[in-house]
Structure 1
Amino acid sequence: MHHPPSSSACLSSARFPRALLALPLSIIVAAGLGVNPSARAQVEDVTELSPVVVTAARTAETADETLASVTVIDRAEIEQRQSKTMRDVLRGLPGVALSSTGGPGASTSLYLRGTESDHTLVLIDGIKVGSATTGAPPWQHIPVEQIERVEVVRGPRSSLYGSEAIGGVVQILTRRGQQGPLTPRLSLGAGTHNTIRASGGLSAGTERGWFDAGLGFEQTQGFNACDGEPFVGGCFVDQPDDDGYTNKNGRLSGGWDLADWLEVEASFMRSEGETEYDGGAFAGNRDKTALQTARLRFDLQPLAIWSSRIEIGRSWDDSKIYHEDDFLDRFDTRRDLLSWQNDIAVAPGHQLTLGVDHQRDQISTTLIYNDDARDNTGYFAQYLGRFGALDAQLSLRQDDNSQFGGHGTGSAALGYRFGNGLRLSASYGTAFKAPTFNELYFPGFGNPDLKPEQSRTAEVGLAGGHPWGRWAANLYQTDVDELIATNLVGTQYLPENIDESRIRGLELWTTAELSGWLLDANLTLLDPRNESEGPNNGNLLARRPEQTFRLDADRQFGRIGVGGTLFVSGRRFDESANRVRLDGYTLVDLRADYAFSDALRLQARVENLLDEDYETAAYYNQPGRTLFVSLLYQP
């Protein structure tokens, strides 16, 4: 993983369990002995650790420059670790917790820094994705074979992006064509549960333009997703059958330099998923989902000090629900985006960004909603400045929404770089989350008087770079008000702005090389508390583990590469009352590959080597020990 040398974190001490505070941090820090400056992909030295980050400030920065806490996963790391799904890519990253309701294709939730699953903004090539009805992004249907890199920005970003960026932003950047002749790529694989995967693509580029195209297919028999109990919990049915999944995806993108001052890019991606799950005649037991994104971008350079970007995009999230072969419901949502951003170099080391975003959300369903469309216009400004060893970032945004009116957010961050390579940073930011269409208008349930959920986050961080590697420590606190929860109003249950939460966290990360092994380790300690009045006050927020630890180790022996991942998750509770406890678990994955040539490789991965039996949502099963073998051809 690529990590920045610094980030931000909370100013108050955290109420962590005593066992956590007793955990010797030397286990993590010891991994930071002897980083090899030439290490590739998963460990970088001081000069190599500066991938360009575009998400944290909506403008290109190196990881050394950004004041945000960022993790970047590039294509080389995805392939080396043999990640096949977004769960593989994201699991165990600093501040990231995942839960899912079964195996491949099952609904997946991401809790970034302990915030709600819909408090993370998800972008694909700059276009917001996710269902406007539920607020949930379709993690399970995003095709990893089409991805070039993933940027995970932790901390509030509403002052740049608007709604949803309370916990942070995850941006997925798809493959780009590289300069050179027409080049094919191909991957074929098979594994446990009668799983097969195939993907291929073509790429080419010149000094004036490039294109990339890709297709992918996955099919698996799966396993029994849910051990539900009728009238008790889980999926509320007992259907001990295998629940399969099929996915077909494709993507086409290209870029052209039409003039020295004008560049144009266009892209389109579609992913179709069909998921079987356990359910009854009311909830269904099969769904067909289509995720699409389309984007057209113009980059202009009117003056040497002024660059301008105009972006037009659309995302679709279409879902059809069936019980056996009987059609039940349809939920189609569409998000249109128009954005104009201007970056102005006002002086050396000082940049001003001014921009406006317009977004229109529209839904089409078999149900009748009181309103099926809304508009939002956001105006934002940002200042990035450097004063010797001091860096500053200030941003403000005003959103005007046709449903809830105006809402302003802001953030400020400072970083000071000491002469010994240490960097101290601090930040404070506000963010918000607009109510979804289901919360506002769902027939018989919605509440059109809902207000946006609001948050405040304070953060401090310390990081450094040395010949042996890099490390970072980040402490933060997030307070969320006006959380939307279901409450009994008269004789009817309705969503209301009644809940509050307080989340404190500590993130530690380091890389190293030890006896030829490239190591990457991180530890997250989390204390996510319900601060709402009532019986759940002081309880842990549902489905967030209090501790997670991940260690990756890889080594090359000539043509043979070997590696493994250790992931440890602490306990969590399945619901706000904290009556249903989900025990902690440990996962061990092993991987190996053999290079027949520079272009042809054979890979094999064993997941959950110890066949751990665990749940991230009550009653829903997770994969046991599995094996997957792939053959990759990439000239």
Structure 2
Amino acid sequence: MKKKRHKLTLMTALAGMLLTNSAALAAPAEDSQQFELDTVVVTATKTEKKIKDVPASVSVITANDLAKANIQTLDQALHYVPGMYVKESEGMMGTKISLRGMSQSQVLVLMDGIPLNNGYSGGVNWSNIPIEIIDRVEITKGSFSSLYGTNAMGGVINIITKTDAKNQTIAKGGVGGNGTTTSSFFTSGQSDNNKFHYVITYDKRDVDGYVNQPEQLPGGLRYGKFTTKNENTGIKLIYDFSEGERLSLLRTESDYTYGYYEGGKDKGQRKLELTGINYEKKLDDTKELKVHLGEQNYKNYWQIANGVGPNPNPVKTKEADVSLSWAFNTKNLLTIGVATKEDKGVAIQQCWKPHSDCYH
């Protein structure tokens, strides 16, 4: 049985009277941040603004922050964001978040404009996000439905990938407790004329696991080590036609599997492909055009729970938006645009046969 949901949204936002002290007035005490006031963010207005000039509460996590804290999956970094509640869980459900009391389905998560919220649950699989490709994460709190649609009632988490493609290559590896092994590879560069840039990343993390239940339950359910395997690849290509005109392509592939082995019967997999195309052009000193196309495709999304399954739920999301930002002066900005989004899923009857005979 196929399920399809199509949505067309007209978005208009007027950001007026952006006084130089507006950020101090808008941000409550909980959002005290340790960054320079000249930090530039784009999420709150869809244009580049200094953080002290945006009419919203914004937290920023940089690539340097992720490296210093040795962050393995992005949800680990969200623990340090004021106003954010993070609940970690095992298996396919993954980590759940809440921003100022709003559930995860009401918080829009983007990566270079691609919505990461699952079409079924509304949640995000944080382990499927390549860490090495992240330049910074902007967490904007409060309702931003006028700019981003209904999923942004509680706020927007905008993951911005790297564009500063210096000629460098970095390889890392590590080991840890519970049989944990990690490896990553990062390379970036640019053409001689500085018009073409590329960023390529790969990371892998395997955890041999721990014994979840010391005693075997009836039927051998959830017995044995909880083992996870996570592999991510990402590539970003950028071409600058001229000053203020840029085309970029982002492609990531992620494969996450888990299981209770040594007699256990709970296991699952989610394999995700993301594709995004962005075109930006400054029409003049006051106007900027942005065009975005994106696709989120869960090719494999299945789980076996309590010995029953695999209950596959593949889902694909296609979306696009066009927006025009017009700065009347330094304090007044008008953004207008149109967006469309289609979620398409397939609900497959529960399978009682061995996994290899039911779903591939």
Q: Shorter-normalised TM-score: what interval?
A: 0.7 to 0.9
Scaled by the length of structure 1, what TM-score is found?
0.47
What are the within-5 Å matches in structure 2 for residues 138-217 of structure 1? 138-178=125-165, 180=166, 182-206=167-191, 207-217=194-204
Distance, in Å, in 2 between the alignment partners of 1:229 and 1:171 is: 43
Call closer, same or farther: CA 1:226–1:49 in 2, change over 3 Å: farther
Q: Which residue of the partner structure matches residue 333 of structure 1?
A: 315
Q: Which residue of the partner structure matches residue 26 of structure 2?
A: 8
Q: Which residue of the partner structure matches residue 235 of structure 2?
A: 252
Q: Equivalent residue of 1:164, what SS?
A: helix
What are the within-5 Å matches in structure 2 for residues 75-90 of structure 1? 75-90=63-78
Deviation at 1:227, TM superposition (A): 8.5
8 Å Cα contact 1:252/1:268 also seen in 2: yes
One-letter amino acid of the counterpart of residue 113, structure 1:
R
Greater fraction of residues in strand? 1
Distance, in Å, in 2 between the alignment partners of 1:101 and 1:237 is: 21
Task: Please list the CA deviations of residues 580-604 of structure 1 after superposition, one character each: whole Å capped at 9, or x if unmatched.
Answer: xxxxxxxxxxxxxxxxxxxxxxxxx
One-letter amino acid of the counterpart of residue 348, structure 2:
T
One-letter amino acid of the counterpart of residue 222, structure 2:
Q
Q: Which residue of the partner structure matches residue 37 of structure 2?
A: 49
Match of 1:72 among 39, 60, 66: 60
Deviation at 1:107, TM superposition (A): 1.3
Call closer, same or farther: CA 1:93–1:223 in 2, change over 3 Å: same
Q: Which residue of the partner structure matches residue 332 of structure 2?
A: 350
Match of 2:257 among 256, 261, 274: 274
Distance, in Å, in 1 between the alignment partners of 2:216 and 2:177 is: 27
Deviation at 1:357, TM superposition (A): 0.7
Match of 1:288 among 247, 251, 269: 269
Call closer, same or farther: CA 1:354–1:195 in 2, change over 3 Å: same
One-letter amino acid of the counterpart of residue 315, structure 2:
T
Distance, in Å, in 1 between the alignment partners of 2:215 and 2:87 is: 17
Distance, in Å, in 1 between the alignment partners of 2:215 and 2:270 is: 24
Distance, in Å, in 2 between the alignment partners of 1:87 and 1:72 is: 14
Call closer, same or farther: CA 1:324–1:102 in 2, change over 3 Å: closer
Q: If you compute each CA radius of gyration, which structure gives the higher value, 1 or 2?
A: 1
Deviation at 1:95, TM superposition (A): 0.6
Task: Please list the CA deviations of residues 337-370 of structure 1 after superposition, one character each: whole Å capped at 9, or x if unmatched.
Answer: 11111111223433221111111111123149xx
Distance, in Å, in 2 between the alignment partners of 1:147 and 1:193 is: 27
What are the within-5 Å matches in structure 2 for residues 443-522 of structure 1? none
Q: Equivalent residue of 1:118, what SS?
A: helix
Distance, in Å, in 2 between the alignment partners of 1:275 and 1:146 is: 24
Distance, in Å, in 2 between the alignment partners of 1:228 and 1:334 is: 40
8 Å Cα contact 1:175/1:212 also seen in 2: yes
Q: Equivalent residue of 1:77, what SS?
A: helix
8 Å Cα contact 2:112/2:160 also seen in 1: yes
Call closer, same or farther: CA 1:149–1:9 in 2, change over 3 Å: closer
Call closer, same or farther: CA 1:112–1:228 in 2, change over 3 Å: farther
Call closer, same or farther: CA 1:223–1:5 in 2, change over 3 Å: farther
Q: Equivalent residue of 1:87, what SS?
A: helix
1:366 aligned to 2:348? yes
Task: Please list the CA deviations of residues 252-282 of structure 1 after superposition, one character each: whole Å capped at 9, or x if unmatched.
Answer: 102111234532111111111001259x99x
Task: Please list the CA deviations of residues 118-145 of structure 1 after superposition, one character each: whole Å capped at 9, or x if unmatched.
Answer: 2211111111112211222112332323
Deviation at 1:146, TM superposition (A): 2.7
Structure 1 portions without partners, runs of 5+: 11-24, 33-41, 369-635
Call closer, same or farther: CA 1:226–1:92 in 2, change over 3 Å: farther
Quick check: 200-209 or 78-87, which moved more?
200-209
8 Å Cα contact 1:101/1:107 also seen in 2: yes
Q: Which residue of the partner structure matches residue 62 of structure 1?
A: 50
Match of 1:239 among 211, 222, 226: 222
Q: Which residue of the partner structure matches residue 115 of structure 1?
A: 102
Count of residues in correspondence between the two structures: 324
Deviation at 1:240, TM superposition (A): 3.9
Task: Please list the CA deviations of residues 507-566 of structure 1 after superposition, one character each: whole Å capped at 9, or x if unmatched.
Answer: xxxxxxxxxxxxxxxxxxxxxxxxxxxxxxxxxxxxxxxxxxxxxxxxxxxxxxxxxxxx
Call closer, same or farther: CA 1:348–1:173 in 2, change over 3 Å: closer
Call closer, same or farther: CA 1:348–1:114 in 2, change over 3 Å: closer
8 Å Cα contact 2:248/2:277 also seen in 1: yes
Call closer, same or farther: CA 1:357–1:162 in 2, change over 3 Å: same
Distance, in Å, in 2 between the alignment partners of 1:261 and 1:69 is: 28
Deviation at 1:245, TM superposition (A): 0.5
Greater fraction of residues in helix? 2
Task: Please list the CA deviations of residues 395-442 of structure 1 after superposition, one character each: whole Å capped at 9, or x if unmatched.
Answer: xxxxxxxxxxxxxxxxxxxxxxxxxxxxxxxxxxxxxxxxxxxxxxxx
Q: Which residue of the partner structure matches residue 298 of structure 2?
A: 317
Q: Equivalent residue of 2:64, what SS?
A: helix
Call closer, same or farther: CA 1:199–1:311 in 2, change over 3 Å: same
Call closer, same or farther: CA 1:322–1:6 in 2, change over 3 Å: same
Task: Please list the CA deviations of residues 82-118 of structure 1 after superposition, one character each: whole Å capped at 9, or x if unmatched.
Answer: 1112232111310111112238x76110011122232
Deviation at 1:67, TM superposition (A): 1.5
Q: Which residue of the partner structure matches residue 221 of structure 1?
A: 208
Deviation at 1:152, TM superposition (A): 1.0
One-letter amino acid of the counterpart of residue 337, structure 2:
G
8 Å Cα contact 1:306/1:344 also seen in 2: yes
One-letter amino acid of the counterpart of residue 262, structure 1:
E
1:98 aligned to 2:86? yes
Q: Which residue of the partner structure matches residue 263 of structure 1?
A: 246
Percent of aligned pairs with the same amino acid:
22
Deviation at 1:43, TM superposition (A): 4.2
Q: Equivalent residue of 1:200, what SS?
A: strand
Distance, in Å, in 2 between the alignment partners of 1:145 and 1:265 is: 18
8 Å Cα contact 1:203/1:213 also seen in 2: yes
Deviation at 1:7, TM superposition (A): 5.9
One-letter amino acid of the counterpart of residue 102, structure 1:
E
One-letter amino acid of the counterpart of residue 49, structure 1:
L
Scaled by the length of structure 2, what TM-score is found?
0.80
Q: Which residue of the partner structure matches residue 10 of structure 2?
A: none
Q: Equivalent residue of 1:297, what SS?
A: strand
8 Å Cα contact 1:227/1:238 also seen in 2: no
Call closer, same or farther: CA 1:49–1:261 in 2, change over 3 Å: closer
Pairwise CA RMSD: 3.2
Distance, in Å, in 2 between the alignment partners of 1:144 and 1:328 is: 29
